Amino acid sequence: MTSSKNNIRVLLADDHAIVRAGIRQFLERTGNIQVIAEADNGEMAEEMIRLDPPDVAVLDIRMPKDSGIDVTRWVRANFPQVGVLILTAYDDDPYVMAVLQAGANGYVMKTATPGEIVEAVRDVYAGKSVLDPVVTQKLLAHISHPGETLQVEQLTDRELEVLSLAARGFTNKAIGLQLGISDRTVQGHLAHIFNKLQAASRTEAVMRAVSLGWISQAIGNITEE
């Protein structure tokens, strides 16, 4: 993602004006984050993104017209370069799973501190995946399939190395440099990992491996390529 004058350009979408005002205030106080537009419903957010794509779209889940989930799907289909950060008061399992499956880069609760929200915007801008600790626990519980035995194929030593580096936020190129292999080889390993772990993304693969006890890396900011 690119940003003019080194500012991270952000769109805020929330149906409560006072919430938008508060978020805007502490985001712009950082000095390098600029709120370029505000929307009070999903359709308006989509129109503003179409007219002037931001670096990061900060979306609530429950909004009139199109929801944050709808907007996320639309962004992924039409503006894949735009990062999506969900900032919401809802941590219900169906919302969490639907938003992540729609392709959001981050999911942060409104109970987070201003500093945590600012950091989440910066991480999403950097191409990383950001999950609130509450959301992480829910996703781990979902992936672990309590009461069921998930049949997965054991990863090779090399695949575990690749996944461990991915969990630490390394890009494909950085993983390749660390292991002395090409980007294409890294992509091949990740494809095998996703297949073995029945995962659709790095975040899901890492969390599943953690739940299985295969890697101990704490879930943090995972770069999704």
Q: Where are the alpha helices (DSSP H) in 29-156?
A: 42-51, 68-78, 93-102, 114-125, 133-144
Q: What is the CATH number of domain 4-127?
A: 3.40.50.2300
CA dihedral 40, 44, 50, 53 (to 10 degrees): -10
**pLDDT tens-digit map of 104-137:** 888 898 888 999 999 999 988 988 878 777 666 6
**pLDDT tens-digit map of 181-217:** 998 899 899 999 988 887 777 777 877 777 677 776 4
Q: Which fold has domain 145-223?
A: Arc Repressor Mutant, subunit A (1.10.10)
In the three-class reduction of DSSP (H, G, I as helix; E, B as strand; rest coil), residue 57 is classed as strand
CA 188/CA 98 separation, integer angstroms: 27
Domain with CATH 3.40.50.2300 in the chain: 4-127
pTM: 0.65
First-residue to last-residue Cα distance in the chain: 13
Domain with CATH 1.10.10.10 in the chain: 145-223
CA 140/CA 219 separation, integer angstroms: 10
